[in-house]
Amino acid sequence: MKKIVITTQFSTYDATDELPTDIQNLMAQAVEVRKKAYAPYSNFRVGSALLLENGKIILGSNQENAAYPSGLCAERVAIFQASTLYPDSKILKMTISAASDTNTTVAPVPPCGSCRQSIAEYEIKQGTPIEIYFMGEKGSIYKSDSLKNLLPFMFDNSVL
């Protein structure tokens, strides 16, 4: 038997004012769109902002539905909108902010498994990594240089 050892690396920031200026702006937009999430069932709101290579910023918030799991996460709302509006523009950076209506979310909230797979699809398609910054309502922010840190064994078309 052999073992596979996988290491991942993240950067951490103690507060948003430590982030590069462009990321502060992007995260602020994720926070604002988070407040517009439709989350009457989970009371957990998520906002995402993407920076595309053409300079456009695309926003998304989670959208729930009584017919679970018909809703959609903020990250996928933003990614699918970017692909629809600007299909030839690469996603450079993504910010994610999550907050609960019932308590203060202080731990960084990464993308869920479905969102990780969707981000992986676009990272593979465009051939370049997507920087991902994620946080709770307040507290530390984590940065991943690529989705591969969050999903080291990505399912992609090479297995088909």
Is the bond into 111 cis (omega within 30 degrees of 0)? Answer: no
CA–CA dist 137, 44 (Å, integer): 11
Q: Which residues are catalytic?
A: 75
> Where are the chain's structural domains?
11-151
- Tell if the pTM clears 0.75, that is, is over it: yes
What's the pLDDT tens digit per position in 87-102? Answer: 999 999 999 999 999 9
112 labeled binding residue = yes
Q: Residue 53 annotated as binding?
A: no
Evaluated on CA atoms 114, 118, 119, 120, the torsion sign reads positive
- Of all residues in the chain, what percent are helix, strand and coil, respectively (each to 5)? 30, 25, 45
CATH number 3.90.1150.10 is the correct assignment for the domain at 11-151? no
Q: Counting Cβ atoms within 10 Å, is residue 152 exposed (0-12), middle (13-18) or buried (19+)?
A: exposed
The widest CA-to-CA distance across the chain, in whole angstroms, is 51
Average pLDDT over residues 120-149: 96
pLDDT, tens digit (0-9, with 9 covering 90-100), for 23-51? 999 999 999 999 999 999 999 999 999 99
Q: Is 43 annotated as a binding residue?
A: no
